[in-house]
Amino acid sequence: MTPDAGVLRRRVKVGDPTGLHARPCAALAKLVARARDATLKVRVRGVEADGGSILDLLGLVAAGGEELELVAEGPGAAALLDAAADVVGRPP
């Protein structure tokens, strides 16, 4: 992602106390796959994951309540960021 390409960022806490496990990771990856006009990266503790990859997201090992940075780029970045923040921040 290039800084001049309209990159949007948002910080959101993992809403599920058990952390970013398989179910929210799958929901997030599915959401990103449907967003054909935007990409998403998820960052925590200096580690970055492709928001469209379940395995990348699981590899973050994000705990419940931990703050993630969501970084979206593309024409549909704002809508993708809103939806992704809802998925990550939603309690079980």
34 tagged catalytic: no
Rounded Cα–Cα distance for residues 75 and 31 (Å): 15
Q: Choose the catalytic residue: 15, 21, 44, 64.
A: 21
Tally: H helices and E strands in the chain: 3, 4
Which residues are part of the catalytic machinery?
21
